[in-house]
Amino acid sequence: MLRYLAVRAFRAAVTIALVVTFAFVVLRMSGDPAILIMGPEVPPEALAAFRRAWGLDQPIWVQYVRYFGAILNGDLGMSMRDNRPAIEMVAERIPATLALTVPALVLKLAVGIPLGVWAALHQGTGFDRAVMVAAVFGFAIPSFVLALVLVLVFSVDLGWLPSGGQGTVAHMILPVLTLGLGGAAALARFTRSAMLEVLGRPYIRTASAKGLPWAAVVRGHALPNAAIPTVTLVGFLVGSLIAGAVVVESVFSWPGVGRMLVVAVASRDLAIVQCILLLVAATMVTSNLVVDVLYGVLDPRLRHGARAAA
Amino acid sequence: MAAPLVRIEGLTVAFDGAPAVRGVDLAVHPGEAVGIVGESGSGKSVTWLAALRLLPAKAAVAGRVLLDGRDLLALPLPEVEAVRGGRIGMIFQDPASALNPVLRIRRQLGEVLARHRGLSGAAIAAEARRLLDLVGIPDAARRLDSYPHEMSGGQNQRVMIAMAIAGQPDLLVADEPTTALDVTIQAQILDLLAALRRELGMALVLISHDLGVVAETCDRVAVMYAGRVVEMGPAEPLFDAPRHPYTRGLLDALPTLDAAERLVAIPGVVPDPRAMPPGCAFAPRCAHAAPVCLGAEPALRATLPGRWSACARPDLDLAAPPPRPPATPAPAAEAVA
Amino acid sequence: MTAPALDLRAVARAYGGGRTLFGARPVVRAVDGVTLALPQGRTLGIVGESGSGKSTLGRLALGLETPDAGHVTAFGAPMPAPGTPAWRALRRRMQMVFQDPLGALDRRIPVADQVAEPLAIHGIGAPAERRARALDALAAVGLSAAQGGRYPHELSGGQRQRVVIARALITDPDVLVCDEPVSALDVSIQAQVVNLLIDLKAARGLAMVFISHDLRVVRQIADRVAVMYLGRIVEEGAAEAVLRDPRHPYTRALVSAAPAPGRHRRERVILSGEPPNPAARPAGCAFHPRCPVAVARCRSEAPALEPAPDGHATACHRVTPAAERAA
Ligand SMILES: Nc1ncnc2c1ncn2[C@@H]1O[C@H](COP(=O)(O)OP(=O)(O)OP(=O)(O)O)[C@@H](O)[C@H]1O
Ligand SMILES: Nc1ncnc2c1ncn2[C@@H]1O[C@H](COP(=O)(O)OP(=O)(O)OP(=O)(O)O)[C@@H](O)[C@H]1O
Ligand SMILES: [Mg+2]
Ligand SMILES: [Mg+2]
């Protein structure tokens, strides 16, 4: 088990290092930050001074090594625009993002999992079909389309809810719905198929043959098994708590991390972009790690090193 | 004779229009041991799964299954659930898949004790340990904390048996209960089942391909072919002098311990359930088939007292096995140096 | 002389042990120092107590699990590590029929497709040809094309078992490890499958490890037989000799207990005492607590597997010394 954890943790570290490198390469290759930030009409001396100040005059590999070394020391750099520590600026935005994504996650879990379980238990009925049709729609519609539809209906037509901005609970409803509905649909579909798979297993028949009431069979025998694949998707949803709101924050002009990322990319504010990417990678990787540990808890076959099979 | 404990009447089962069980009548009396043997896929398992309503919804089941005069196929589901595991216990084929992979043995066994014996807490643990001891699993106390994947095939099979007898059933339906057990443990399990029958008056339905085990354990035997019972009677005379050519064929296919001879399989294949031959289902493979066999499907009729056979030619002499073909010497048969 | 298909030297495999997040676990020595050779084209039967390590030995022999000690050689070359390309290439030549057919099949795929799958994995043949070969393989074990279109749970126990056998045979392997391959089959189909395996052995030089509790079937198919008890081999020799003239007291109990119809209520050696606990192996000979002929020496000293001049090896202090027997 400890070995298993160590392997996972090592992989997580490698993943983060790759993300960091990737961010570095892409951002340096796609335009000169000095020109983007200072503007094209700035005299060359000023540009050179800016480059010197930020170390952009060094060979690319020196920049990379410095950058990597700084990250290892926990220094994520200064915003080139505001000349404040990037990490501080990003941290200020996190609560706003979580204010959207956490309620949305709760919505996904509270709606998606019960719907999926219920649909599987009533496979083939009208309810099941209705859930599946809704899930396909919820899954297929891009979030900006859903956001626009919700805005059109609830803000423009009905005038019930504001179409953007921040401050009251009313402001949160549309963005949270936009975020939550798509995830709930995906989760419902996934839970349903995991559940159907488990319900067809011979051990479910054994549990019935023991005389357990059907509700006890579902609760005690089917759900623990169906939870194993479902945990993967839930882990992914948790992992996207920070990064999953980029589109929605932009549409509803919500001052979260996602919108900050869009702005920072447009203006080549390297430190901010890197800092956000690192944060996103870290949440993703951490939630993956938690999923792996949960697997071990839920599935005893993985706990002591699964034995090889065909 | 006393009233039967369970009486199956005219049971039919079809999957997507393909019949799997085509009219089975069978009675099991209290304390009796009935063996069910027969061709793979002939509906042995499905018959009993249908009786306990354990088949998926797509199975079309008709007929009656009477327990104390109540038809299990017509009762409300909660009443059937009370019968399952309590009055009728079931041991499944494929024990490794039939156990829940994420639950410890303690939990899987304890459930039955809580449900049907009203035990709780320490009493469950003690009784669970006693049951594992009974089925010959060493180190029972520790094994309760194992998961199915940590046990061998035969150990899982014995857990399955312990689960089925935990509810102290009046009838135990054992579907291939000893396939994964070596003969000494098999003997131990068969002795255990015999003791349960003696002490608790439990009836036993033993579904098995092992004719030796059936002969040794059962009072009566039913032979199934293509979804029907083709022969039934007391075990010893039935195996000594079968009345149906299919039973004869089974006995002739048995390997022996004495010499390595080429085994004699029954020629041909089982009929497709969607396109059954006219007349007797076994006729296309039967060495004794005559024009009379191609008419109506023969019914199960009493031949001798207590013996039933569904053969259109009840006067056939099947006592002597046909001569075996000469053993083909396999090129690699000599001892390996 | 050609290299043996499989050569196992003092292999051992233990489960459990060590500390985990979930507490200490007892060590179960499932296979405890087994040496075996399987010449090409021959069949080795393995019989023995339930839980004595037969399935584990089968997995070790095919390299599906790595031994803790000892080594496995296949066709004269060391067994590659699981997951490597060499190991994967070897899969095609070495197949296993698993004990639990339902667990070995994917419930979402029609069985004919699962039979064809090894061909796709190893890139053999065009898709249409693969399908035809799968149907042939199914026919060889007595299953129709219609049955091939079904899902595993729609087949009876014996039908599923035959699917697994067909899948193992489709790549024309050189080595087959069968774990209880025929126990779920009625005797007629069992005869058909056993005959098929014997014919394959004769025609293609298929080498087999045949794990079974059915001594009669082992007698029909095996050239040699090894008897396992608590992770070790206690007797090994030509099938005929071991099953007709068993020397180890455990084998004698096995042979006497084999049931047959007709011989009703026959004599059998009932083993007394507890079945062995692999987590607490008795000192000396592991069988001594249940052995009808055990003496003091059996409690202290573990017997080695000693071959007699006739090639029949036994691990028992009470077996007549080899020299006398040969005389
Ligand atoms: N869920 C299902 N869907 C479709 N067909 C099924 C299903 N379950 C069983 N069958 C079919 O019903 C027939 C009878 O199956 P059953 O399991 O009763 O056979 P069996 O006599 O127990 O055979 P075995 O000895 O091999 O276990 C078989 O042909 C099988 O393929
Ligand atoms: N993954 C595992 N974890 C812990 N113990 C295991 C594991 N796999 C097998 N064992 C133990 O190892 C021993 C040998 O198991 P194995 O499956 O090889 O027995 P077997 O001879 O095939 O028995 P059977 O005839 O009952 O199938 C058993 O005591 C079993 O409980
Ligand atoms: Mg069956
Ligand atoms: Mg095994």
Contact A205 B112 (CB under 8 A): no
**C72 touches C8 (CB < 8 A):** yes
A42-56, B17-31, C237-251: the lowest-pLDDT one: A42-56
Q: How remote is the CA of residue B37 from the centroid of ligand 4, in Å? A: 24
pLDDT of residue B333: 34
pLDDT of A30 higher than 70: no
Give the tokens for residue C21: 């997040």
pLDDT of residue A168: 74
Residue positions counted in chain C: 327
Residues in B closer than 8 angstroms to C214, CB to CB, are 210, 255
Q: Which CATH superfamily is domain A86-309 in?
A: MetI-like (1.10.3720.10)
Cα–Cα distance between A9 and A7 in angstroms, integer? 6
- What is the percent of chain C where pLDDT is above 70? 89
> pLDDT grade, residue A265 (50/70/90)?
confident
The residue whose CA is least distant from atom 7 of ligand 2 is: B150
Give the tokens for residue B42: 């002939």
Query: Exposed, middle or buried: residue A83 (CB in 10 Å: 0-12, 13-18, 19+)?
Result: exposed
Give the tokens for residue B73: 């196929």
Give the tokens for residue B211: 């004719």
C10 three-class SS: strand
> Relative to the alpha carbon of C212, which ligand is closest?
2
> pLDDT grade, residue C269 (50/70/90)?
low
If one residue of B151, B159, B161 were mutated to test the ligand 2 pocket, choosing by the most ligand atoms within 8 A of its CB, it would be B151
* Strand (E) or helix (H) holding B206: strand B203-207
pLDDT of residue B321: 55
The predicted model gives B144-148 an average pLDDT of: 92
Establish whether residue B93 lines the binding site of ligand 1, counting it when its CB lies within 6 angstroms of any ligand atom: yes
pLDDT of residue A1: 59
A149-163, A275-289, B111-125, B300-314: the lowest-pLDDT one: A149-163
pLDDT of residue B326: 43
What mean pLDDT value characterizes chain A?
Answer: 81
Domain edges within chain B: 98-167
Cα–Cα distance between C67 and B328 in angstroms, integer? 39
Contact A303 C22 (CB under 8 A): yes
Angle of helix C249-257 versus helix B183-200 axis, rounded to 10: 50
Residue positions counted in chain A: 310
If one residue of C52, C178, C230, C232 were mutated to test the ligand 2 pocket, choosing by the most ligand atoms within 8 A of its CB, it would be C52
> pLDDT grade, residue C23 (50/70/90)?
low
**B281 touches B295 (CB < 8 A):** no
Atom of ligand 2 at shortest distance to CA of C228?
21
DSSP character string of B207-270: E-S-HHHHHHH-SEEEEEETTEEEEEEEHHHHHHS-SSHHHHHHHHH---SS------PPSS-P
Which of C20, C65, C107 lies closest to A1 in CB terms?
C20
Cβ within 8 Å of C, A 234-293: none
pLDDT of residue C327: 43
pLDDT of residue A306: 40
A145-149, B155-159, B215-219, C37-41: the lowest-pLDDT one: A145-149
pLDDT of residue B282: 92
Q: Is A3 touching C (CB cutoff 8 A)?
A: no
Q: Which residue has the higher pLDDT, C266 or C193?
A: C193
Establish whether residue B272 lines the binding site of ligand 2, counting it when its CB lies within 6 angstroms of any ligand atom: no
Cβ within 8 Å of A, C 163-182: none
Q: How remote is the CA of residue A160 from the centroid of ligand 2, in Å? A: 65
| Cα torsion A178, A181, A186, A187: sign | positive
Give the tokens for residue A211: 């005389």
- Domain at C6-93+173-326, CATH from 3.40.50.80, 3.40.50.300, 3.40.960.10, 1.10.260.40: 3.40.50.300
Cα–Cα distance between B157 and B159 in angstroms, integer? 5
Cα–Cα distance between B107 and A221 in angstroms, integer? 11
pLDDT of residue A257: 86
The residue whose CA is least distant from atom 22 of ligand 1 is: B45
Cα–Cα distance between B258 and A261 in angstroms, integer? 82
pLDDT of residue B325: 46
pLDDT tens profile C183-235:
878 888 888 888 888 988 888 889 999 999 889 899 999 999 999 999 999 99
Q: Is A253 touching B (CB cutoff 8 A)?
A: no
pLDDT of residue B331: 39
pLDDT of residue B337: 33
Cα–Cα distance between C122 and C143 in angstroms, integer? 24
The top-scoring range by mean pLDDT among A155-159, B185-189, C114-118 is C114-118
> pLDDT grade, residue B269 (50/70/90)?
confident
Domain span(s) for CATH 3.40.50.300 in chain C: 6-93+173-326
What mean pLDDT value characterizes chain C?
Answer: 85
- By C-alpha distance, the chain A residue nearest C65 is A308
pLDDT of residue B26: 94
Angle of helix B153-166 versus helix B122-134 axis, rounded to 10: 120
pLDDT of B334 higher than 50: no
pLDDT of B241 higher than 60: yes
Terminal C-alpha separation, chain B: 61
pLDDT tens profile C150-195:
988 888 877 888 899 999 999 889 999 999 888 878 888 888 888 8
C39-48, C68-77, C96-105: the lowest-pLDDT one: C96-105
Quick one: which of A296, A309, A308, A299 has its CA closest to A226? A299
> pLDDT grade, residue C326 (50/70/90)?
very low
Establish whether residue B56 lines the binding site of ligand 1, counting it when its CB lies within 6 angstroms of any ligand atom: yes
Give the tokens for residue C95: 């197949």
**Nearest-CA distance B79 → chain A (Å):** 10
> pLDDT grade, residue C267 (50/70/90)?
low
Q: Which residue has the higher pLDDT, C226 or A48?
A: C226
Residue type, B330: A
Q: Which residue has the higher pLDDT, A71 or A276?
A: A276
Q: Is B151 touching A (CB cutoff 8 A)?
A: no
pLDDT of residue C272: 67
